Amino acid sequence: MLFNTFQPGKFAFASEDIDLDDLRAQIQNDESNSPIDFLKSKKWGIIGVPFDSTCSYHNGSRYGPTVIREASFGFENFNSRFGRSLDGEFFDCGDLNIVHGNCERTCGFVEDAAGELIDANIKPILIGGEHSISIGSIKALANREPEGDLSDITIIHLDAHRDIIDEYIGEKNSHATIMKRVHDLNPKELIQIGIRSFSLEEAVFVENNENITSFETKHLFNGDGFGYLMQKLATLKGKVYISIDMDVMDPSVAPSVGNPTPGGLIVGDIEKIFALLYENPHVDIIGFDLVEVATDKLGDITAVLAAKIIYDFLTLFA
C-alpha cells in the first residue's frame, strides 16, 4: 500500500498487496535497470482519488472509486470481446487521503503517490474523482523525463469538453482547466477525442497550437471521420498517456457524470480505440486515468461502464 492511502476494497482480479520497498530494492540491485524497463513494464497500480471539490454541475464523483470497484466484480476473468483473460499483474493500492476543498494539495498527494509507483516500475492508473486529479500522475511522469516536461509524451484525452481554458471562475486548478495545465507542461501532442462543448476562447487556443489535434463528434460521426481517428492512432509512436472523462460517452449509456452532454461515444468506440492502440507496436502506454463517474449508487450503469473500460484496458495492457 502507498503512503497516505487507505483500503476500501479492490478492483476485481487485482494481485495481492504490493510491497513497494521490495520492488524498489530489486530495481536498485539490478544494474541493468533503465527507463526502458519502465516503458516495457506490464505492472499497473490503481489509485482511487475520491475528490470532487471543483465540480461545476453534478457533484458526487468522490464516490466514483468505490462504485467502480464494486461494479468490476460483475465481469468474468475471460474477456470475450478481446478473446483473452485478464491475467496480467496489477495492484489496487486503495484510495488516497485527499484534502476536500484544496485541489492543489490533493493533486500534490496524487503526484507523490503516482511517483512512488513509477519509481518501482509500476505504471499508474487513477480512478476519479473529478478530472483535475489527472495532473498529479501526469506531473509525476513529466518530472522523470530528461527534459522535466511532456515533450516526449503524447496525451490522448477523451472528453465531451476541451477543459483547456486558463482559468475557471478565477481558479487555475479545476476540472475545467486540467488540459491547460497539461498543455503548460509542453506535451509532444495533445489528442482530444469526442469533443462537443467548448468556449470560443478554447476554440481559438486549440486552433493556434500546432501540438493539439481535435476530433469533434460532429466530424467523428460523419463520413469517414472515425476512420481518420483510427489512422491517427495507428501512426502514433512513443510514450502515451490516456485520460478518459466519462462524459465523453453519450448520456444514454453513461448518464451519471459531472457534466453530461448529448452526442457522445458508445461502448464500441472505446473498444476500437483500445484495440488499435494495442495493435500498434510503436506505442508504450505509460499511464491511464478514468474520471467523473458521479454517483453513490452501487450498480449504477455509468459505474458498470467505467469498470468495463478499466477491465478492457487491463486485459490488453497488463
174-212 pLDDT, tens digit each = 788 999 999 999 999 999 999 999 999 999 999 999 999
Neighbouring C-beta atoms of residue 258, cutoff 10 Å: 28
Apex CA 204: angle with CA 202 and CA 210, to 5°? 100
Nearest by Cα to 178 from 266, 235, 243: 243
158-169 pLDDT, tens digit each = 999 999 998 887
Instruction: Classify residue 36 as exposed, middle or buried by CB count within 10 Å of its CB (0-12, 13-18, 19+).
Output: exposed
Quick one: 5-29+38-317 is in which CATH superfamily? Ureohydrolase domain (3.40.800.10)
For 187, the grid coordinates are: 506535451
SS3 139: helix
pLDDT given at position 148:
96
CA dihedral 252, 257, 246, 125 (to 10 degrees): -150
Domain ranges of the chain: 5-29+38-317
pLDDT exceeds 60 at position 103: yes
pLDDT given at position 54:
78
pLDDT exceeds 70 at position 227: yes
pLDDT given at position 95:
95
pLDDT exceeds 80 at position 104: yes
Nearest by Cα to 302 from 80, 49, 11, 67: 67
pLDDT exceeds 60 at position 32: no
Q: One-letter amino acid identity for 218?
A: K
Within its chain, how far is the Cα of 193 from the centroid?
Answer: 13
197 or 56, higher pLDDT: 197
125-153 pLDDT, tens digit each = 999 999 999 999 999 999 999 999 999 99
For 117, the grid coordinates are: 509507483
Q: One-letter amino acid identity for 315?
A: T
pLDDT given at position 6:
63
> With contact defined as beta carbons under 8 Å apart, do 230 and 275 qualify?
no
> With contact defined as beta carbons under 8 Å apart, do 45 and 126 qualify?
no
For 69, the grid coordinates are: 470497484
> With contact defined as beta carbons under 8 Å apart, do 8 and 94 qualify?
yes
The pLDDT-based confidence of 172 (bands split at 50, 70, 90) is confident
